[in-house]
Amino acid sequence: MTRWPSDYSDAWTLAAAVERRGVGLHSGGEARVRLQPSERPGFHVGWLDRPDLLLQRLQPEQVCATQLCTTLQLEGRRLATVEHLLAALAGCGVSQAEILVEGEEIPLLDGSALPWVEAIAEAGLRRLGPRPQLRLSGGPITVQHGASFALALPAEGLRLGAAIEFPQPAIGRQVFSLELTPERFVAEIASARTFGFLDQVEQLRAAGLIRGGALDNALVCDGEGWLNPPLRHPDEPVRHKLLDLLGDLALVGLPQAQVFAYRGSHGLHTALASALAAAAAPLAASAPLAAAVSSP
Ligand SMILES: [Zn+2]
């Protein structure tokens, strides 16, 4: 069994490269992803089929679409469905890695972050030193989209919470929160799968979306129940919402904060990530790492 870092106070990268391939949810196309160690802080995306292009450091400003998944615009190329992979990396304690992709979408795999956690465990982790911490220098941050909101309060450590409310009795109102550590992420969040609704699935298919969606990579709700039980947790939908929140926050890095999202969506989460990027001051844990953070 993998020994995960005890918390997020240190910087970690992968100990070796690891590769996975699979089908993209929206395009239905085959994609390949290689994760490899990085000496630079943050997550950096490059292309397996274009090794001549420079790797881009991920940041919230690259978000260009948030319908169903988080899509980034990376200098002329788009990359969709980054959130579950980023949740797995950040959740497991990885603060820096290179993500090399062939294709336009990160494979959905089983719809959760678990296959990525297994890939990270296979690669192993390497400790680099103290991690520069993202702290909210200007007090609480709130983001509101209609009836949805997210807020971040300064705190020691990282506490994540989410609440969802759906009229469908199979889901209803669910609340979940935890003091996040890599071990708790792996045990309580990583395996929660993405979910959708039967009527929506038909509409999206007709619109040419979710071509790679199937009953083996998403929970499908018909209102009263689930087409593909059993659930991995009784409250799997809200746990997945928390997984999505974590993946979107990973675009800026994990803050020292208490973060809560009510009826979250990728649009709401990535707006919060942008607000965090603007408000959070990277406090140097050590001089060399601080210098690396502020360099382009
Ligand atoms: Zn998701």
What pLDDT is recorded for position 212?
66
Going from the C-alpha of 130 to that of each of 177, 231, 255, 258, 295, the distances in angstroms are 26, 38, 15, 21, 18
How far does the centroid of ligand 1 lie from the alpha carbon of residue 240, in Å? 6
| Helices H / strands E in the chain, number of each | 7, 19
Is 230 in contact with 215 (CB distance < 8 Å)? no
pTM: 0.92
- Residue 266 among the catalytic residues: yes
What pLDDT is recorded for position 208?
73
How far does the centroid of ligand 1 lie from the alpha carbon of residue 237, in Å? 10
Q: Give the bridge partners for 257, in sequence order.
A: 154, 158
What pLDDT is recorded for position 206?
79
Q: Of 26, 44, 84, 266, which one is the catalytic site residue? A: 266
Successive 10-residue mean pLDDT values, the chain, 296 residues: 92 98 85 97 96 95 92 93 97 98 94 98 97 89 96 95 97 98 98 91 75 77 93 97 98 96 97 91 41 34
Q: Which DSSP letter does residue 5 get?
A: -
CA distance 275 to 157: 19
How far does the centroid of ligand 1 lie from the alpha carbon of residue 87, in Å? 9
What pLDDT is recorded for position 293?
36
How far does the centroid of ligand 1 lie from the alpha carbon of residue 220, in Å? 13
